[in-house]
Structure 1
């Protein structure tokens, strides 16, 4: 029959392994989406990869601590096992701080992609600054709490645990507890901020209510981690139980791992919409090329005047603006109507560089109608003197 010690020890290894696996899959899918599907791998993605690397170290150290007795009472362990378990505990504290910092930075940068108001951007910069400041202070406190550093784990070879004169010393544990409370408050505040902000960003957008709620839900997933922070707060006081540290602090280990793991997983899931759309079969028909169905070659020319292209500018009575040769690019959109695809019309050999054209359907032609949208990107550059003659220019046109 499993004892309470066995249950705690097993839970440490299971929680670390489970959430590390979930986070790893989520980050790998994120990298695939951002790097190969949308081809827009950015700083937020790089930050999340760094967060995952530190979280992997955190979870691996947590599993190592569990293998060597974390979750068990001190009298159930040999002195050597207690020392090794405490060394892994120390590595967990350092890795946790960096994983949390990079995770929150990634989420903030991701939200900056959709924020346009100066107030929202300043709020996100503030959250990042507070996250980095609080995380680094907490990390250095945990890193340097004992002198020498190794005394943090070597002192566990003795019982009761005391600062043995001549071997080393540690700062008062009340300071560690107080700073942990402060850090938890900052972490919860930042998580709730990045979780609530999307509501104010999206609620005025013109979209269906269901779509709007879905977008808000996806973008607000980052605040899930704040629940783990809040649940962990009552257990912070167990840091003071040095005589049975590995048994008493199990709840802190659980919820710290959940905080980082949920933050990384949720922050990565928010970027997977293009992958979901691909899985659901929402893709472009490969038979379509340049906006036209296969077999449709372009715009009708000649014939009756009803079938000739008509500039949109002439339809609304406005004059088209003159092009300057120093303009770099002009986009031309042609909306064309096609009847009887088996007898498709030939493509015109030239296009006006600044007109949007509408081909009106011929009233006497039988067959179904298909409408294709054609965009022409035209680049006009002024050549340097001596290339084509003074004042001359050339035009390059790319049909998309």
Structure 2
């Protein structure tokens, strides 16, 4: 009988495979791409158009949290992420839970600051009173959602230690609460994605530029799709082998927060691209003017409106964003 059991155990060996290398690879590649994009954004703002705004510092904070999530996810692989649960000791499982908590926190903060950066950019380019009021309402909604999701991170288990240590008695929210938090992020993603489209369509710029701007802003739609995919993955998490099944969620987490940062930066890079590729991205001022490239000024002086019709400070910001500068500003 013992011999039969031994043979059966040998016939069905325990799966000890892991997906830790793919997890590390995805995080490093996506975080590096986002970091490069942020660096290009700051170079454009500081050295090309000589303007740095609140939204630039907000995206930098988002990038810091994204880098923290990258480091945390790599650390988590040393504590079982991407490995089957039956290959881990209880002590390692506890440490894995702690790392997972901080990674979710970094993920939430990165998305939150990215959204704030985008909305503050909207405030720069929204010139009409109704548009600005709507933008402030959007800012209030997003901030309220972000604060709630952040608070939830710390009250999802009472005491919090029960979240990662099963030996600690406590009460925790069901997985559905995590899904609800993800839904909040997705809803605000879609609102932020759709919000600027009507304004972009009314800009008095060449049709080709208008289409290009809409396409760039529409890249945010892919972030919305990735957020939905990640939510579905979390909903279908295999709790009997949670450390292994969390790998898929980790992949999508890396793509979601870093692609959000990249999309937030792409809308600010056109002045740099116009300087590097003037023939490709040069713009004409109107249909009646020549089609020669319209290079950016060496330094843009932002002044209040005057009787000479000089663009206002906000109008200058809008012009910089679409890389269309009137002769008086050049």
Normalised-by-shorter TM-score class:
0.7 to 0.9
Q: Distance in 2 between matches of 1:97 and 1:237?
A: 18
How many Å apart are 1:118 and its aligned residue? 3.6
If each structure's helix is expressed as a fraction of its own residues, which one has the higher value? 2
Structure index of larger Rg: 1
- Aligned to 2:45, which of 4, 18, 34? 34
Match of 1:190 among 181, 188, 200: 188
- Which deviations, in whole Å up to 9, do the C-alpha atoms of 1:46-81 show, x marking residues without a partner? 110111111111111111112332022111123333
Is the counterpart of residue 130 in structure 1 residue 131 in structure 2? no
Q: Quote the offset at 1:141 in angstroms.
A: 1.9
1:43 Cα deviation from its structure 2 partner: 0.7
Paired position in structure 2 for 1:270: 267
In structure 1, C-alpha distance between the alignment counterparts of 2:133 and 2:59, rounded to whole Å: 21
Secondary structure of 2:219's partner?
A: helix
Q: Separation in 2 of the partners of 1:332 and 1:216?
A: 28
How big is each residue's C-alpha offset from its partner over 1:268-291, in whole Å with a ceiling of 9 and x where there is no partner?
1211111111212568699x9xxx
SS in 1 for 2:126: coil
Change (3 A) 1:63 1:170: farther
8 Å contact kept, 1:147–1:169: yes
The structure in which a higher percent of residues are strand is 1
**What are the residue-to-residue correspondences of 1:1-400 with 2, within 5 Å?**
6=17, 8-155=19-166, 164=167, 167-172=168-173, 174=174, 177-238=175-236, 241=239, 243-281=240-278
Q: Is the 8 A contact 2:44 2:269 kept in 1?
A: yes
For 1:146 and 1:329, how far apart are their aligned partners in 2? 59
Q: Using the alignment, how far apart are the partners of 1:283 and 1:7 within structure 2?
A: 54
Tell me, in whole angstroms, the C-alpha distance in 1 between the residues paired with 2:25 and 2:275: 33
Provide structure 2 residue ranges, at least 5 long, that are not aligned to the other structure. Answer: 1-13, 279-292, 299-304, 311-326
For residues 169 and 81 of structure 2, the distance between their equivalents in structure 1, rounded to whole angstroms, comes to 23
CA distance in 2, matches of 1:113, 1:230: 29
Distance change >3 Å, CA 53–CA 332, structure 1 → 2? closer
Q: How many residues align structurally?
A: 280
Following TM superposition, by how much is the alpha carbon of 1:191 offset from its aligned partner in structure 2, in angstroms?
Answer: 1.9
Q: Which moved more, 1:216-225 or 1:46-55?
A: 216-225
Relative to the length of structure 2, the TM-score reads 0.75
**Residue segments in structure 1 that go unaligned for 5+ positions in a row:** 156-163, 289-327, 334-373, 376-399
- In angstroms, what is the RMSD of aligned CA positions? 3.1
1:383 aligned partner: none
Tell me the secondary structure at the aligned position of residue 69 of structure 1. Answer: coil
**Cα offsets for 1:196-253 (capped at 9, x unmatched):** 2332112223332221100112233333311111112222224672x43212222222
- Tell me how far apart the structure 2 counterparts of residues 52 and 4 of structure 1 sit (CA, whole Å): 37
Which residue of structure 2 lines up, in the alignment, with residue 293 of structure 1? none
Contact 1:69 1:77 in 2 (8 A): yes
> Structure with the greater relative contact order (CA < 8 A, sep ≥ 6): 1 or 2?
2
1:393 is aligned to none
CA contact (8 A) 1:55 1:260 kept: yes
Distance 1:233 1:330, change over 3 A: closer
- What CA distance in whole angstroms lies between the structure 1 residues aligned with 2:191 and 2:105? 25
**Structure 1 residues 129 and 181: CA distance shift in structure 2, 3 A:** farther
